[in-house]
Amino acid sequence: MQATAPLKADLRSTDYYRLPWTINDNILGWLEPTKRCNLYCEGCYSRNDKKSDKSLEQVRSDLQVFTRLRNMDGISIAGGDPLVHPQIVDIVRMVTGEFGMKCILNTNGLALTEALARDLAAAGLHGFTFHIDSSQGRPGWKDKNELELCELRLHYAKLCQKLGLSAAFNSTVFPHTVQHVPALMDWARDHIDVVHGMVFILFRTMRTDQYDYFANGARINADELVYYDQDKNPRELEAREIVARIRQSEPCYDPCAYLGGTKDPNTFKWLLAGRLGRPGKTYGYVGRRYMEIVQTASHLLTGKYLAYSSPKLLSLGQLTSLPFLPFDEGTRRAMKEFARDVVRAPWKARRMYFQSVVIIQPIDVMADGEANMCDGCPDMTVHNGELHWSCRLDERLRWGCNIHAVPKCQAAEALVAAPTRRRAKAPHLKPVTEP
């Protein structure tokens, strides 16, 4: 039987606000104080390395590189899992105190106790982005599907609420879990008062059926990288498919802003939406002008593009939306819906909350082997005193350079054309043997 093509939303980039983030001027930097992790998530870019904890001096040096090369509103601390670093509270304090930036911790939450969360909050932490999904095989949660894991998500969201911290949730989306995305969106809507953001990261694989991979002129075994090959995830996902899925259950869902690809401007590498609603009801989604005004005004007033708002501000949607009414159609629609809701039951107290929804489509490889990266990558990290895409750091650590994909027939032709001279100059270059 022939497989039916997945449904994809017909999105045009010109209908949305192109986020103004660049390498030098961005919302965030991505700090990795360790590569150690206490879980293994499928699709992770990072190799667990037991001896990778950085000292406070090394962390300070990374932060100095960031502040020299990049204007930023905040720092995402990631890894590995940053909570396994024994000095994580000092690192958060360094980011917020010494460097005066917002600090977000990206964690699987496994090592998080209430006492540690309190210490981190006292050190100035803004909030957490929890990575929770069914690919992790978490102790106590093995074999649970995406929806069953919502109980755990809610536990962390409530802990954050108690401490006044923001809470967002990452999930890697695979072809076999994509069906759960609409239900996760429903869950996020039902808890919009404590869930400030949802992030869907589309899984990434090597495509060794289509490409050969090279580093420093030599063919490499791409299996050495941690993420899976196409055998495990044969079908690639893209942001348009996730949009179509969400619209099936929530037709008013519409993104407002995006980052395109470095090679293909027709791809949506980051696709942002801003939902306005109350628990159990979506009033609507903000439009492109909303995000344009937020980013531009923030840069004008503070000199930085805005990364995260405080949970308090996000819970004042009916007030914070007012200035956008003359400019933004999406906000007007949502406010009308809010007003209808109030008229229907005026005796009930109402609050309108803002929740961000982000779809991230990581590096994809073009037909000619070029890598299509997020154009204006917010997650650049520091490696050897330079900024580098965090999703490709492991290539640097393993081979000292980014690896290159070469379509299979080209790889063979290149070596057949000039084998002897190249090999004489580069004796480490192994001849290609086609499978």
Residue closer to ligand SF4 by CB (options 82, 378) is 378
Provide the 10 A C-beta neighbour count for residue 426. Answer: 12
Provide the 10 A C-beta neighbour count for residue 5. Answer: 7
Distance of CA 156 to the CA centre of its chain: 19
Residue closer to ligand SF4 by CB (options 261, 284) is 261
Among 174, 356, 389, 415, binds ligand SF4 (CB under 6 A): 389
Tell me how far, at minimum, the Cβ of 358 lies from ligand SF4, in Å: 10
Tell me how far, at minimum, the Cβ of 362 lies from ligand SF4, in Å: 4
Tell me how far, at minimum, the Cβ of 270 lies from ligand SF4, in Å: 7
Q: Binders of ligand SF4 among 4-43, rule CB under 6 A?
A: none
Residue closer to ligand SF4 by CB (options 21, 285) is 21
For residue 225, state whether it binds ligand SF4 (rule: CB under 6 A).
no
Residue closer to ligand SF4 by CB (options 284, 376) is 376
E strands in 63-154? 74-77, 102-107, 127-131
Sorted by sequence, the CB contacts under 8 Å of residue 197 that are 6+ apart come out as 129, 166, 167, 168, 169, 355, 356, 357, 358
State the Cα–Cα distance between residues 239 and 262, nearest whole angstrom: 16
Q: Binders of ligand SF4 among 256-315, rule CB under 6 A?
A: 269
Tell me how far, at minimum, the Cβ of 4 lies from ligand SF4, in Å: 29
State the Cα–Cα distance between residues 110 and 79, nearest whole angstrom: 14
Listing DSSP states for 111-136 in one string gives T--HHHHHHHHHTT--EEEEE--TTS
Tell me how far, at minimum, the Cβ of 392 lies from ligand SF4, in Å: 7
Single out the segment in contact with ligand SF4 by CB under 6 A; choices: 35-43, 239-247, 388-396, 417-425: 388-396
For residue 120, state whether it binds ligand SF4 (rule: CB under 6 A).
no
State the Cα–Cα distance between residues 362 and 359, nearest whole angstrom: 10
Residue closer to ligand SF4 by CB (options 328, 379) is 379
| Residues facing 74 on adjacent strands | 28, 102
Q: Are strands 166-173 and 127-131 parallel, antiparallel or unpaired?
A: parallel
Q: Which amino acid is at 382?
A: V
Among 46, 136, 170, 390, binds ligand SF4 (CB under 6 A): 390
Residue closer to ligand SF4 by CB (options 283, 305) is 305
- How many chain residues bind ligand SF4 (CB under 6 A)? 11
Sorted by sequence, the CB contacts under 8 Å of residue 51 that are 6+ apart come out as none
State the Cα–Cα distance between residues 72 and 387, nearest whole angstrom: 13
For residue 81, state whether it binds ligand SF4 (rule: CB under 6 A).
no
The site map against ligand SF4 for 347-386 (x = CB under 6 A) is: ---------------xx---------xx--xxx-------
Tell me how far, at minimum, the Cβ of 32 lies from ligand SF4, in Å: 11
Q: Which amino acid is at 71?
A: N
Q: Where on the chain is the footprint of ligand SF4 (CB under 6 A)? A: 269, 362-363, 373-374, 377-379, 389-391
